[in-house]
Amino acid sequence: MPELDDRIAVVTGAGSGIGRGIALVLAERGAGLVVSDIDLAAAETVAGEVRSLGRRAVAIEADVTDRSSTGALASAAVREFGRVDILVNNAGVGGAAGWWERTSPSPEDWEATYDVNVIGIVNTTLAFQGHLKERRSGRIVNIASAAGRRGTGGFAHYSASKAAAINVSQGFALQLAPFDINVNCICPGLLWTPLWEKIAERDRIKSGETELTGRQVFEERLAQSTPLGREQTPEDVGRLAAFLASARSKNITGQSINLNGGSYMN
Ligand SMILES: NC(=O)c1ccc[n+]([C@@H]2O[C@H](COP(=O)([O-])OP(=O)(O)OC[C@H]3O[C@@H](n4cnc5c(N)ncnc54)[C@H](O)[C@@H]3O)[C@@H](O)[C@H]2O)c1
């Protein structure tokens, strides 16, 4: 029997990149899915992919920065499936609109990263915690970043938000442990997703290396930073999220787990 059979999972930011990968792996392992994103059309496409794996899925539009939206997401998820077992807080941004065209972060970029990458986790967790506490079970997986492990020069706003996401995960792990709810965090390294395409565009502008393609900028970064020499994939993150959502990890909570090919070790 697949290890997540009959579990119901909610994934935020699941219309693209890593969130999509997590949704598909959880579905392969047996879970039914609430595919949530601020971009409903993208969420609907991924929900269709989940259904074609033979699992139930609904797409629900939600903006994680807006408490009324995350509250409505929790109500709709429970109404649709009767319960929720797994929450993956994946939605994340690199700044305010057009951030990749700026060589240094604006005050709006600082605000936007904090709003989505930190307050987004808080809003969604608070929206679901009553339901999970009542059932005295649940798994929460937050997606932080290798960038949250140490400060970065030109991307300090993003690193700081991800460091906060790691810390917030520990706080919720302590608060929710008495209810048998495990909260863990994944720190991915380098994944070629629409987010990294924008980072590459920004790095190209910043360095003046306009003869390189975005993908070449990414590969250069990979070669400089990653001992294993391989990029990580959304499926890698999905497999770790599935483990953290399964019975096999029942005594793991409050941890932030690196998935980075060795670029940072602790
Ligand atoms: N790509 C990488 O190398 C990498 C590395 C480490 C961590 N991460 C983190 O992984 C997560 C996913 O990143 P990705 O690379 O798949 O990026 P992506 O841009 O491909 O996907 C992010 C998704 O989040 C959604 N989103 C944005 N703002 C939202 C909001 N306010 N409410 C709900 N949804 C919202 C977007 O619509 C999009 O579908 C992010 O938290 C990111 O910081 C990415």
Best probe residue, ligand 1, of 49, 70, 158, 193 (max atoms within 8 Å of C-beta):
193
Domain that holds residue 239: 8-189+235-254
The catalytically annotated residue of 158, 172, 196, 218 is: 158
Q: Catalytic annotation on 158?
A: yes
Q: How confident is the model at residue 16 (pLDDT cuts 50, 70, 90)?
A: very high
Q: Which amino acid is at 139?
A: R
Integer-rounded Cα Rg, in Å, for the chain is 18
- Burial degree of 135 (CB within 10 A; 0-12, 13-18, 19+): middle
Q: Same domain, yes or no, for 222 and 242?
A: no
262 belongs to a structural domain = no
The answer to whether 12 touches 64, Cβ cutoff 8 Å, is yes
**Contacts of 194 by beta carbon, 8 Å cutoff, 6+ apart:** 16, 17
Into how many domains does the chain fold?
2
Q: Same domain, yes or no, for 95 and 133?
A: yes
- The whole-model pTM stands at 0.98
pLDDT in tens, 92-105: 999 999 999 998 99
Q: Same domain, yes or no, for 33 and 88?
A: yes
Residue 205 is predicted with a pLDDT of 84
Q: How confident is the model at residue 159 (pLDDT cuts 50, 70, 90)?
A: very high
* DSSP output for 126-168: HHHHHHHHHHT-EEEEEE--GGGGS--STTHHHHHHHHHHHHH
